[in-house]
Copies of this chain bind each other. A is one copy, B any other.
Amino acid sequence: MTDARDLVAIHDPDDPRIAAYRAVRERDVVGRGERFVAEGEVVLRLLLGPSCRHRVESALIAKSRLPALADLLCALPPEAPLYAASQAVMDAAVGFHIHRGVLAIGRRAEAQDAAALLSELPPEALVVALVGVSNHDNVGGVFRNTAAFGADAVLLDASSCDPLYRKAIRVSVGASLITPFARGGSGAELMDALDAAGFRTVALSPAGKTRLDEIEPAPRTALLLGAEGPGLPTALMARARSTARIDMVAGFDSLNVAVTSGVALYAMTRGGVRPR
């Protein structure tokens, strides 16, 4: 292992060199500014891969995991330190048991607004726009589906949660590191940007007028999703080119928003999934 990559042995959980890894859950709450935390081998692989839009700052790996990860860790750029610690030191620094023994700190790419992001997409594009989706699991799940079905980008209004929040990255299985996204503004501003970029907007709602399978995807299609419970604001529903519903049993609670995104992306890509 050490042939391939210098590593910095850490013996003290209070070592200032691993300060960014300390009290991970507490910092989830206060936020990390430009930094984010990546957990687990699959996510680290995406963070170090060619599709990642962000930069790795350092990695902290349990010593016992180093042999199995040797090849992967060679992809860590020379300026990013590789810290190695015993599982016990790692757990003590982080504040809970990291049972996969793999953590990294990333630094986010410069943020883009929705208009700038949409202007970079190809003439045929499929995007997902989230309004008021503040649950980390749901945002992570939407990103996972977006990557699986080869959609091009995700837009999020300011009230939706940060896709680089630790749990959102984990639930996305790293998809939020490789999928272009823009977050900010209101739902109406996202709609303005989508209209200006020539997207056919399809608002998903149990109250949608058209059955999802009757929606014909346009060259540029945007799927709009709101939070469970409130759903999409009425004004956005009214502005959307189409409103689509997934037929369900009357009286039962609606689908989870991540599941809805999976079903809608499946329906929109039934002509075949394009590699991005």
Contacts and interface: CB of A to CB of B under 8 A. Distances in A.
Contact of A262 (B148, B174, B259, B273): B259
Contact of A175 (B141, B175, B252, B260): B252
B255 A269 contact: no
Contact of A253 (B173, B255, B263): B173
Copies in the complex: 2
B141 A252 contact: no
Interface residues of A, number: 37
A148 B263 contact: no
Contact of A252 (B148, B246, B247, B256): B148
- Most chain B beta-carbon neighbours within 10 Å: one of A144, A212, A250: A144
Given A148-B253, A253-B42, A253-B148, A273 B248 contact: yes
A249 interface: yes
A77 to B, nearest CB: 22
A266 to B, nearest CB: 5
Provide the main secondary structure of the chain A interface.
loop
A68 to B, nearest CB: 16
Given A150-B249, A249-B276, A266-B266, 20 more contacts: A42-B253, A141-B256, A144-B255, A145-B255, A147-B253, A148-B253, A149-B249, A173-B253, A212-B266, A246-B266, A247-B269, A247-B272, A247-B273, A248-B273, A255-B262, A256-B258, A256-B262, A259-B259, A259-B262, A266-B267
25 contacts: A141-B259, A144-B253, A144-B255, A145-B255, A145-B259, A148-B253, A149-B249, A150-B248, A173-B253, A174-B253, A175-B252, A212-B266, A247-B269, A247-B273, A248-B273, A249-B276, A255-B262, A256-B258, A258-B259, A259-B259, A260-B262, A262-B262, A262-B263, A263-B266, A266-B266
